[in-house]
Structure 1
Amino acid sequence: MRILMATVLTVLLCFEWAAAQSEERADTTFNLGSGWVLELDPNDQPYPDYLADPRRPQMQLGVSVTDSDIPETSSGRIMCDLGTRYTLFKVSPTKEGKNEFALDVEGCLFTQFDPGNNLDNIGWDGRYGIFGVWDWSDKVVARVGYRHISAHLGDEYIEETGRQRIGYTRDDLAFGMGIYLNQELFIYVEPSWAWSLGNDDRQKRWAAEGGLQYQGPHDLWNNSTAFYAAAHVRAFDETSWEPGVSLQAGFHVTRDQNSSNLRIGLDAYTGRAILGEFALDYDESYLTLGIFFDFY
């Protein structure tokens, strides 16, 4: 319960921080010569988020109804994620932002708590990474980079069940590419190859993900709110390429393009267990009502 309260407090503090960011920002652009411009701490991210990806670095507080094969767990989950993806800088030949190059860093802690068992922590995954991004004419975007994810069991779950870690860890190289079909529709694919595995006997190196997402115009509630919907599919060689399918839909609220983003939506998933320590052995489905908060 204390972890949950700390998570809620962190979310509230981030909202307060976001309000401060909506004020006028200083100019952080620098002329590099030969027509190139460097912008530190840019207002936008050239590579968009995968909105329905269950392992997207984000702030989330969600309540789930779950049908899970994970032993000795209830049919409910509290999802608490703490993290973000942040663009350190971008370089472009003009201030119009065409043919941009950027550097992104990301990190997130993904946790699940069991409300049917005294809010015991079932497990948590940690993720961090760094990506180089290329935005070509605002139509085609690509990124390549390094990503680490390590999975852990909750102390309470270990005490209650006696289960031990299998040592699920991946260090991979990922290459993502996306295309804007129009201003509102974005489609993407991202294969990855793990050069280091925590459990060589059970894990395999190849994985892939992709999806389609729609971001509508902000024409609701004083032009601050838009409807959005997204679908995401991911599959791993280590689980015979069984697809894990995520669907998410809801409302995106933002004051302006320089402010942080709040999403309120329903998230549905079916496939292998999301937490890495259970992913090789169990399947699950869930429906989550969540608040998703992105800041940069």
Structure 2
Amino acid sequence: MLTLRPLRTQFASFRMFGWLVGCCAWLVAGTLAAQTMVPAEQFAPVQQFEGEMIAPPAGDWISSEPMATGFSEPELVLSEYYDDPCYTPSGPWVNQLLPDGLIYRSYMAGPREPKMQLVHLEEQQNGETLWDVILGGRRALWRYGTVDPMHPEGWEIDIEGAAIIRLNLDNERDVDASDFRFGIPVTYGFGKWQYKTGYYHLSSHLGDEWIVRTPGWERKNYVRDAILFGISFNPTPAWRLYGETAYAFFTAGGAEPWEFQFGLEYSEPGVTGWHGTPFLATNGHLREELDFGGDYALQFGWLWRGDSGSQFRAGFQFLAGHSNYYQWYNESEKQYGLGIWYDF
């Protein structure tokens, strides 16, 4: 919904949005053009034996172990195999319904991401003890890509949702506020790069107990319906950099169209076992309704990851800036505490 700002400001926003969409289309088109899709069978790995070329059966995984034959140890010819985007070291690209894993995973330190969270925190501005709880998750509906759940590649459609709830421990665990998010992300990943676009809806609600406890407080009907675009990059398997922007085509309750998010994450890749591994995550979020101010979050601690790629974390969180609950989007908070998280 257009706000009642001068028309030239509206036109400037649309020009910026058109420029962003054009850049996104250029990036995706360039990526796809550089990776021409061809049938996987044309690039099946070939094993070189003495005086003879033997192609493996279609779909078999090729091992570098010596074969029990009368020939000498095989030499794998894999140059064409690795160049084919439809047949990677993780396997061929195939259609999958409700596959395991995610191509573009949620941001660890993002305070509004679909995940499971319980953070016991002290809020310094008001001197309150709070629980910030997220009850949510994200799953893949369809993928055309590899079947490796740890680091899948290809195209994917996901579904996500989350209830983001604040409980006040100083007032009998009252529900102060709850924000709700629902989205349909479309993602693409190959190698070190992952891309995300899609739609999400977010609405903010004031808790009944807060209304009773705080007479005269007026609830904000904060709503966003937005189109987003994000890019994630892994310079090494342990490090991740990302950036995301969203433009809300419908807003209410003080929301403005543009927002930007960016961050950095570190954790050793792969299945961790019982011993786990340390992690570090940061996230910044800037919003137009705050004149592009926002909030900053820092998390660090210990992480355990299973063979599905999902992970459980325990550690410390610090957040400073404007509130991560949109009923108080223009009020400042500074909080620190201990938390546990389950990331999809």
Q: TM-score interval w.r.t. the shorter chain?
A: 0.7 to 0.9
Deviation at 1:49? Answer: 1.8
2:241 aligned with 1:241, yes or no?
no
Per-residue deviation, 1:191: 0.8
Matched, 1:206 2:258: yes
TM-score by length of 2: 0.69
Find the counterpart in structure 1 of residue 201 from structure 2.
148
Q: 1:259 to 1:236 in 2, by over 3 A?
A: closer
User: What is the distance in 2 between the residues matched to 1:75 and 1:278?
Assistant: 15
Alpha-carbon spacing, 1:98–1:105, altered in 2? closer, same or farther (3 Å): closer
* Pairing 1:56-135 to 2, within 5 Å after superposition: 56-68=113-125, 74-92=127-145, 100-135=154-189
- Secondary structure of residue in 2 paired with 1:243: strand
- The equivalent residue for 2:279 is 228
Looking at structure 2, the residues matched to 110 and 132 of structure 1 have their Cα atoms a distance apart, in angstroms, of 23
Q: Which letter does structure 2 place at the counterpart of 1:134?
A: Y
Output the CA distance in 2 between the equivalents of 1:50 and 1:168.
23
Distance 1:99 1:131 in 2: 15
User: In structure 2, which of residues 82, 100, 111 is the aligned counterpart of residue 54 of structure 1?
Assistant: 111
Larger radius of gyration: 2
Counterpart selection for 1:284 from 311, 316, 333: 333
* Equivalent residue, structure 2, for 1:271: 321
Contact 1:187 1:213 in 2 (8 A): yes
Summarize deviations over 1:70-112 as a string: whole Å, max 9, x none: xxxx5210122110011112102x6677750001111000111
Whole-Å separation in 2 of the counterparts to 1:54 and 1:186: 17
Distance, in Å, in 1 between the alignment partners of 2:314 and 2:227 is 31
Q: Structure 1's 99 and 258: CA in aligned 2 closer, same or farther, altered over 3 A? A: closer
Show CA shifts across 1:212-266 (max 9, x none).
100125697x554111101100000100111311001111113x31274211111
Contact 1:191–1:207 (CA<8 Å) still a contact in 2?
yes
- How many corresponding residue pairs? 252
Determine which structure has greater relative contact order: mean sequence separation of CA pairs < 8 Å that are 6+ residues apart, divided by chain length: 1
* Structure 2 alignment gaps of length 5 or more: 1-37, 41-92
45 and 224 in structure 1: CA distance in 2 versus 1, 3 angstrom threshold: farther
Aligned partner of residue 116 in structure 1, secondary structure: helix
Range with greater deviation from structure 2 (118-127 or 97-106):
97-106
> Any conservation in 1 of the 2:101–2:310 contact (CA below 8 Å)?
no
SS at structure 2 position matched to 1:48: coil
Report the TM-score, using the length of structure 1 for normalisation: 0.79
1:174 aligns with 2:224: no
CA distance in 2, matches of 1:166, 1:243: 18
Same amino acid, percent of matched pairs: 27
Query: 2:295 is aligned with what amino acid?
Result: G
Cα distance, 1:167–1:183 mapped onto 2, change above 3 Å: same
Deviation, structure 1 residue 55: 0.5
> C-alpha displacement at 1:66, in angstroms?
0.8
